[in-house]
Amino acid sequence: MDIYFSILSVIITYLNLAYGNLCDPSNGPEGTYDCVHIPEYDSYQWAVCLSSQTLRKHTSRSFGCKGSSYCWLSCTKSIYPTSLFGYVAKECRCDPIENEKRKRSLQGNIQNVKVKVPPECYIPSFTSNCDWYSHCLEAHSSCEQTEFHYAVSYGKAICSIFVDTFNSFSEEGKKWITSSQKCIANKLKSILMPNDKSDCRNLRERAYLAHTKCYLYLSRPRFCSLQHTDQMKIYWSIKQVYQNSFSEHFDDAMAKFRSCLRNDVYNEQKEYIFYVKKDIDATPKAIEKEFASSLADHFAFSSQGLDWDVDVQMSNRMRTKREIDFYSEKRYQPVGIFVSQQRVKLVERSRMNPVRNYLRKTYDNEYDKDFLVSFDDLIINSLTGDGLQVTDNSSPYQWPVWPVSCFIIRSAAKVAICFSFPGNCIISVLVQLFSKVLPDTPEEIDTKFILYTRNKTNISLSFSDVSTMSHFNPSKSTFIIVHGLLSSGDTDWVKNMTSSLLARKDSNVIVVDWRKGAKYLIRYNQAVANTEVVGFILKLMVKTLENHRGATETHIHIIGHSLGAHVAGFAGKYHTKARYQRITGLDPAGPFFENKTDIARLSKTDANLVDVIHTDVDGFGYLNPLGHLDFYPNGGEDQPGCDFLTGPACSHSRAQVFFTASIRSDRIFGARQCKLLAQCRTGENLNWNGQEDNKMGFHIDVTKKREVNTMYYLKTNIKDLGDVP
C-alpha cells in the first residue's frame, strides 16, 4: 500500500508540474478549485483557493493563510468549521487520478477550474446575510425556474423574515436564529463543491432535511427549549413558507414542530375541533386538508390577519379515544385547527408567579387581549348569519358547496353545528353540555312540515321553496304542533289537536314531523341532541314564512309535547329578531333537561307567553316551573285513569288530551294559584271559594302573565276527549 501511495504521489506531482499550481501562495488565483491532499486530513478532498484577506474579512479574522497570500480552504473545514484535522467529510472526498484527467482535458483554460460563485460563499463562519441563498446556492444550481425551486422561494424568504424580526426575539431566540442559519448554510455548502451532482429535486430534498434538522435538533439553543413567544414567531413564520417549497413534507414537518410547542403556546391561540360529516370513501388526511383550506378561503383568514394550521396530532389523538367511538359510528371525522395572528405579538408570562396563568403587557402594550376572542367572533358570527334564500320553480338556488355535508365546531367557549344549507350554523348548547352525543344531520332527521287549513289539508311545505307556501294565509293565526319521542306527525293525538284547532278557529295549522330524529328508545340522548337541530330548522321555516309570505310572530303559537316542547324552545331561541306570540309546553321532557340552564331547554324567554302543563313530574316530565304560567293538574302526576296497566307513559301523554280538550271547551280546567311548588303538588291550603284564578290550556288568561313564574293547581277527571262536556 505504501509503495502504491508513493507511486501515486509521484504521478500527481508530475501532472501538477505539467499543468501548474492552481493555488499559488503568492498569486492564487482566488476561486480556483482542485482535488488536494491537505496534511492535516487523512485523504483527498475538494478545496477552493481563497486569499488570506478574504478569509479574514468574512470570518472576523478567525481564519487566514499562514505565511502566504493565498491558500486552500478545504471542503471539510468549510462545511464543518471545527474539523481542522482528521477524517475528510464524506461529501468532500474526491478521486485525485480522475481529477488530474479532468485538468488535462481543460487544456490550460484557468476559467474552467474556477467555481461559479463568489469565494465568500465557502466561508465557514456564515453571517446573517440572506443573499447567500440567491448569490451562492441559486447561482450555482439554477433551480428557481423549475418546479423544484428552493433557494430563493424558501431559503432566502425564511432567512429574510428572521433577519427582519431579529430584534423582536429574546436573546435566546436571537442565538437560535444565528445558530440555525449557520447550520443550514454549512449543511448545504457541499452542494457548491465541484464533485456534487445534485439535480434540483435532490437539492430541495437535501435542503428540507437540513432545515428540519438545524431548526429542531442541531441549533443551540434548541427550538424545543425556547420560550413560547419565540416559538410562536418561528412556527408561524416557517409555516407560511414551508408549504410552498416543501409541500409533500408539509404535514410531517409541521407535526414535528408542534410536538415541541409548549403548552402556554396553545393558550395564546384558539384551538378548534371540527367534527366533519365525512365521505365514507375519503381518507382522514384528505378531509382535514380540504376542509381547513375551504374554511380559510371562505372566511379570508389572510385578510383578517389570521394564520391557521391543521393540528394533525390532535386529530390522531381524537381518533384513538373511546369518547369518539360514537362519532366514528356516525362517520364524523375530527379535524383540529388552531389559529393565530400572522404577525404574532405575544408577551412572556409573568415570572413572578409561574404557577398562575395570566399575562402582562409589555411597555409598548404590544399584546392585544381582544385577539383571544376575535376568531370566535369571526367564524361563529359569519357561519350563523341568517343568509336564508329560497327558490321558485323557475330559478332553483344552488346551496353553498362545502367539502362536507355537516361539521361541528368546538372551542373552549362555543360549539357550532353547521349544515349545508343557508343560515347553516347554530351555536349548540346541548353538544357543549353533553359532549359525547352529536346530533344527526338535517338529512338524517328529515324534518317535514305539513300545512292544514279549513280548505286544504296535508300540504307539504319546504323552507327552501316558496312555491309550496301558496296556501298559507298570513292574515290568519298560525298554530305549529311538534311531537315528541317515538311519535310522528300523523299520530292520533296530533290529528285530534289539528282538527280541533281548525274547528275552533279558521287558521293555519302546521305539523312538524321529525320522526326519524325522535325514533331512539335506547339511545334517548340522541333524540335529545336532535331537538336543537329540529328547533333550528323550524326557525328557518318560520323565517321563510315571514320573509316570503308575510307571516308575523304575533300570530304564531307553537305547541310541543315532551321533547317537542324543547324543540319549540330552541325555535324561539334561534328566532332572535322578535319573539313568537306563544309557546305551550305539554309536559316538557324531564330526563337530561332537569337542572339545565335556560339556554339548554324551554324557558319563558322563548316567546311572549310561555305556558306549561305538567302531568308526569315524577316520570318523563319536567318538575320545576319553566314558563310564565305553569299548571299542575292533579298535582302534576298520577293522572286519572293511569295505572300500571295503561303503561308508564300514560300520565305523560295526558297533557295532549288536556290541551285538545281545552280547545273544544272553554268551561273546563279552572285553576287556583299556588305560592310554592310544594302547594301545587298537593293542592293543600288553597282558596276554592270565588272565581278561578286562571284556565289551563287554550283559553288561558294572558293578562295573568308576570315576569316571575306563576304556578297553578287544578283537579280534573278527564281521561279522554269523550269526557269533554
pLDDT digits (tens, 9 = 90+) for 580-595: 999 999 999 999 998 8
Q: Both 154 and 105 in a single domain?
A: no
Q: Is 652 a catalytic residue?
A: yes
The catalytically annotated residue of 237, 652, 653, 662 is 652
Amino acid at 599: I
pLDDT of residue 288: 73
Instruction: pLDDT band for 126, please (50, 70, 90 cuts).
Output: very low
Higher pLDDT, residue 38 or 325: 38
| Residue 422 domain-assigned (yes or no) | no
Residue labelled with grid coordinates 497570500:
69
Structural domain count of the chain? 3
Residues spanned by the domain of 64: 2-122
Backbone phi, psi, residue 394, to 5°: -90, -30
What does pTM read for this prediction?
Answer: 0.66
Q: Both 172 and 46 in a single domain?
A: no
**410 pLDDT more than 70:** no
> In terms of C-beta distances under 8 Å and separation of at least 24 residues, what long-range contacts does 393-397 make, across chains too?
393/467, 397/464
Classify residue 41 by its DSSP letter: B
Q: Is 149 a catalytic residue?
A: no
| Residue 430 domain-assigned (yes or no) | no
Classify residue 304 by its DSSP letter: G
Average model confidence (pLDDT) across the chain: 79
The catalytically annotated residue of 562, 651, 653, 662 is 562
Q: Both 48 and 153 in a single domain?
A: no
pLDDT digits (tens, 9 = 90+) for 186-212: 888 878 876 677 888 888 888 888 888
**720 pLDDT more than 70:** yes
- Which of 81-95, 102-116, 351-365, 642-656 is least confident? 351-365
Q: Final residue of a domain: which of 89, 122, 155? A: 122
**505 pLDDT more than 80:** yes
The catalytically annotated residue of 196, 264, 307, 587 is 587
pLDDT of residue 365: 36
Q: Both 329 and 442 in a single domain?
A: no
pLDDT of residue 434: 62
Q: Which residues pair with 580 in a beta bridge?
A: 607
Q: Both 555 and 497 in a single domain?
A: yes
Alpha helices (runs of H) in 136-262, residue ranges in sequence order: 139-141, 157-164, 171-188, 200-213, 228-245, 250-258
Percent above pLDDT 70 for the chain: 73
Q: Both 103 and 167 in a single domain?
A: no
| Residue 139 domain-assigned (yes or no) | no
Q: Both 507 and 376 in a single domain?
A: no
- Which of 135-139, 580-584, 720-724 is least confident? 135-139
Q: Final residue of a domain: which of 382, 397, 428? A: 382
pLDDT digits (tens, 9 = 90+) for 477-494: 999 999 999 999 999 999
For every residue of 479-545, DSSP letters joined together read EEEE--TT--TTSHHHHHHHHHHHHHS--EEEEEE-GGGS--SS-HHHHHHHHHHHHHHHHHHHHHH
Residue labelled with grid coordinates 329540529:
534
Average pLDDT of the residues in 337-343: 60
Q: Both 98 and 157 in a single domain?
A: no
pLDDT digits (tens, 9 = 90+) for 200-248: 888 888 888 888 899 988 888 999 888 877 887 888 888 867 776 777 7
**Are the C-beta atoms of residues 324 and 334 closer than 8 Å to each other?**
yes
Q: Both 214 and 336 in a single domain?
A: yes
| Residue 389 domain-assigned (yes or no) | no
pLDDT of residue 199: 87
Q: What is the distance between the alpha carbons of residues 679 and 673, in angstroms, rounded to a whole number?
A: 9
Q: Both 490 and 615 in a single domain?
A: yes
- Which of 67-71, 284-288, 654-658 is least confident? 284-288
Q: Final residue of a domain: which of 65, 87, 122? A: 122
Q: Is 587 a catalytic residue?
A: yes
Pairing of strands 415-419, 508-513: unpaired
| Residue 427 domain-assigned (yes or no) | no
Instruction: pLDDT band for 540, please (50, 70, 90 cuts).
Output: confident
**124 pLDDT more than 80:** no
Mapping DSSP to helix (H, G, I), strand (E, B) and coil, where does residue 470 land? coil
